[in-house]
Amino acid sequence: MANNIFTPTNQKLLTNVAVVRIKRTGKRFEIACYKNKVVSWRDGVEKDLDEVLQTPTIFTNVSRGEVAKRDDLNKAFGKDNHREICVHILEKGELQVSDKERQHQLDSTVKEVATIVADRCVNPETKRPYTVNMITRSLKEIHFSVKPTRSAKQQALEVIEKLKESIPIEKARMKLRIMIRGRDCKRIYERVKGMLNEVESDEWIEVDCVEIVCNVDPGLYRLLDDLVRKETKGQGSVEVVSLKEIAAGGDEAL
């Protein structure tokens, strides 16, 4: 695919082009983007559309500079607003790359997914984390396939349940240190304690101050943090001590 194109309006030379394509109503529609920005947009890192698009124009063929007709846009998308359609194509379209680039992107995404899973999960039988290589092998065993329109993080969270078909795995527990202070300390303590099912220790430092060390599912962290900050009017805190429970004797899964 050519790396240089001309827009039909001003013949301005565009370089470093990445084309995203979608097919609708028997026709193809393309947008011209900057390389590497498409993935950043889909991952939520880049939020400025102008930093992603080389031009907010819908083409039927980017390399030839053929702009889509208004009637075709209305028929395919129910609108002719180019910027709104660009967003739709960015989210749902297919990034056009060479076979070599595509394979490199797939391999990179698989590694990124494996890294996220390895970082967030443990073997529940040993309480030890898996290595990235072990997760990568398991992904191959369950025939994991990359979804180009979804971020590596989304795919990692989705594939954890599927991995249970191949290996014993569960999300890592988060160890927290919770400090509760203030006049309503005892009432807040009882409320927080009721949300926990694995408390390592709780120590009353003073009459109106207690420290709790506990292990929770990562999804509970924000709820606890909001509750403690709100109820103690900023005097309390929730600190992450560690993300994983790791059994003594090593840092790799057996």
Question: What's the mean per-residue pLDDT of the chain?
Answer: 85
Q: Which amino acid is at 206?
A: E
pLDDT recorded at residue 245: 53
Alpha carbon 191 to chain centroid, angstroms: 32
Cα distance from N-terminal residue to C-terminal residue, the chain: 47
User: Above 50 in pLDDT, residue 150?
Assistant: yes
Q: What sign does the CA torsion over 145, 147, 153, 159 have?
A: negative
Residue pair 178/223 in contact by the 8 Å Cβ criterion: no
Question: Is 62:29 a contact under the CB 8 Å cutoff?
Answer: no
Q: Which of 95-99, 171-175, 191-195 has the highest mean pLDDT?
A: 191-195
pLDDT of residue 16: 64
Q: Is the pLDDT of residue 132 over 80?
A: yes
Q: Is 28 left (phi over 0), alpha (psi -120 to 50) or beta?
A: beta
With 60 as the cut, is the pLDDT of residue 9 above it? no
d(CA 97, CA 90): 15
Which run of H or of E encompasses 13?
strand 13-14
Rounded Cα distance between 148 and 106, Å, is 8
Residue 10 has pLDDT above 60, yes or no: no
Give SS3 for 131: coil
Query: Tokens 């509750």 correspond to what residue?
Result: 227
Q: How many beta carbons lie within 10 A of that of residue 102, not counting itself?
A: 14
> Are the beta carbons of 46 and 52 closer than 8 angstroms?
yes
| Mean pLDDT, residues 22-40 taken together | 90
CA distances, 43 to each of 66, 147, 151 (Å): 29, 13, 5
The single residue listed with the structure tokens 């379209």 is 93
pLDDT tens-digit readout, 72-89: 999 999 999 999 999 999
Cα–Cα–Cα angle for 1, 84, 79, nearest 5°?
105
Q: State how far Cα 46 lies from the chain centre.
A: 13
What is the average per-residue pLDDT within 229-251? 74
Q: Dump pLDDT digits (tens) for 168-191.
A: 998 888 889 999 998 899 999 999
What stretch of H or E contains 21?
A: strand 17-24
Rounded Cα distance between 30 and 38, Å, is 13
Best CA proximity match to 94, nearest among 30, 27, 177: 30
d(CA 253, CA 11): 58
Q: How far apart are CA 200 and CA 210, in angstroms?
A: 14
Q: Distance (Å, rounded) from C-alpha 129 to C-alpha 250? A: 9
Q: Residue 252 above 60 pLDDT?
A: no
